[in-house]
């Protein structure tokens, strides 16, 4: 198998400022992706864009006219030697973030990139490798789009007009704000759910494993013991993560507020989905304070309003969102698991197809 340095199969070009141009439909790429659209292009052939500063692990394959700024390189590839998409897939396997030459801000240089060695099999073999990897990439993209569609439908279900009754949390929920002295931790006993365990929609019991003694449980939970179905929300680090209690005999730590419906007009599961919803989360974000680490006081959180449609409508929405939740968020059988499996499969075949180990062995013989 013949190997060449990148400089032998392509030329790396610097990006430039775009501010002098008019607005148009040509995308302008920076190291983080598209940052603007203008009426002029720098290059109109397929190219691999390689960040020079910042997010140097993000490669882009572009096959329509584009412009690049000075934080990202573009490449002029000799397609008589290598297919552009083949170059993209190969450089992905090189984890070029490891070639960082910067101190504070990650950086790459042309001289370092030019020395990367790329295999150059016959063009028909390159075409077949690209075809196989494109199929994997398209499937992963389709699964991701499906998840985004579920999220859109989720938000739409939780959008209510002015005719719907809105209530403050404190008006429709009993609550407990677990503040005060940090409970003494033990090696085993009652599982202590902290802010670290609460994710967006579920409790991750593996994220942090802390316990309090059974003797100390009544004292720690004297403000109110958690029950299955109670809804939890974090008030800091992170702020606004929501979960519903799904097991008995647990304790709750600081920076966690527990809500429970105090009226038959509000379903706890519906409450969970509302607190997770985009509209409430945006409202919470506006009410929170702090720059680096945002937080919200319980007294302020309790005053935020939520929609309280008729109970039968809540139950209908919960039934739909439970199915969405299983499809979108189940780590073992839902879309995340399927996307992760496809991504893993893609990376496996990409690495196998682009290492040419078998070919090397045969040549050595």
- Rounded Cα–Cα distance for residues 335 and 305 (Å): 32
**What per-residue confidence (pLDDT) applies to 180?**
67
d(CA 161, CA 159): 7
d(CA 145, CA 150): 9
Q: Which residues fall within 8 angstroms of residue 204, CB to CB, at 6 or more apart?
A: 197, 198
Tens digits of residue pLDDT in 186-212: 999 999 999 999 988 889 999 999 999
Q: Give the pLDDT confidence of 219-236 residue by residue, as tens digits.
A: 888 888 999 999 999 999
Provide the pLDDT for residue 327. Answer: 66
pTM confidence score: 0.60
Of the listed ranges 55-59, 71-75, 243-247, the one predicted with least confidence: 55-59
pLDDT at 264: 92
pLDDT at 88: 94
Contact by Cβ (8 Å): 216, 172: no
Question: What is the DSSP pairing of strand 23-30 with strand 67-68?
Answer: parallel
**DSSP bridge partners of 242:** 233
Bridging pattern class, strands 72-77 and 173-177: unpaired
Tokens of 83: 């297919």
Cα torsion 253, 257, 262, 267: sign: negative
Q: How far apart are CA 202 and CA 233, in angstroms?
A: 11
The pLDDT of residue 7 is above 80: yes
| Listed residue (160, 157, 215) closest to 190, CA to CA | 215
Do residues 132 and 20 make contact, with C-beta atoms less than 8 angstroms apart?
A: no
């Amino acid at each position: 198998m013949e190997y060449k340095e990148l400089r032998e199969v392509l030329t790396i070009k610097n990006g430039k400022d775009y501010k002098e141009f008019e607005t148009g439909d040509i995308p302008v790429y920076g190291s983080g992706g598209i940052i603007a659209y203008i009426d002029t292009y720098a290059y109109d052939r397929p190219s691999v864009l390689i960040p020079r500063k910042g997010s140097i692990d993000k490669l882009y394959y572009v096959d329509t006219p584009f412009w690049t700024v000075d934080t990202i390189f573009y490449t002029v590839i000799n397609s008589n030697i290598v297919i552009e998409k083949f170059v993209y897939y190969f450089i992905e396997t090189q984890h070029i973030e490891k070639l960082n030459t910067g101190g504070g801000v990650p950086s790459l240089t042309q001289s370092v990139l030019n020395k990367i060695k790329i295999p150059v099999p016959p063009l028909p073999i390159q075409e077949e490798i690209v075809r196989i990897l494109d199929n994997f990439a398209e499937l992963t993209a389709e699964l991701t789009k499906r998840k985004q569609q579920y999220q859109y439908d989720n938000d739409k279900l939780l959008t209510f007009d002015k005719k719907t009754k809105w209530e403050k949390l404190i008006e429709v929920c009993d609550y407990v704000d677990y503040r005060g002295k940090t409970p003494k931790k033990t090696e085993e006993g009652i599982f202590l759910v902290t802010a670290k365990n609460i994710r967006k929609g579920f409790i991750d019991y593996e994220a942090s494993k802390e316990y309090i003694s059974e003797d100390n449980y009544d004292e720690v939970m004297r403000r109110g013991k958690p029950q299955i179905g109670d809804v939890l929300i974090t008030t800091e680090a992170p702020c606004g993560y929501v979960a519903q209690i799904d097991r008995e005999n647990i304790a709750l730590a600081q920076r966690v507020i527990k809500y429970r419906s105090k009226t038959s007009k509000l379903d706890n599961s519906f409450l969970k989905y509302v607190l997770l919803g985009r509209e409430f989360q945006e409202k919470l974000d506006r009410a929170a304070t702090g720059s680096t680490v945002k937080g919200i006081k319980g007294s302020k959180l309790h005053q935020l309003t939520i929609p309280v449609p008729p109970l039968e409508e809540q139950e209908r929405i919960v039934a739909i969102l439970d199915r969405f939740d299983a499809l979108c968020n189940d780590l073992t059988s839902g879309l995340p698991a399927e996307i992760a499996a496809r991504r893993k499969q893609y990376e496996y075949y990409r690495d196998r197809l682009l290492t040419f180990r078998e070919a090397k062995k045969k040549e050595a013989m």
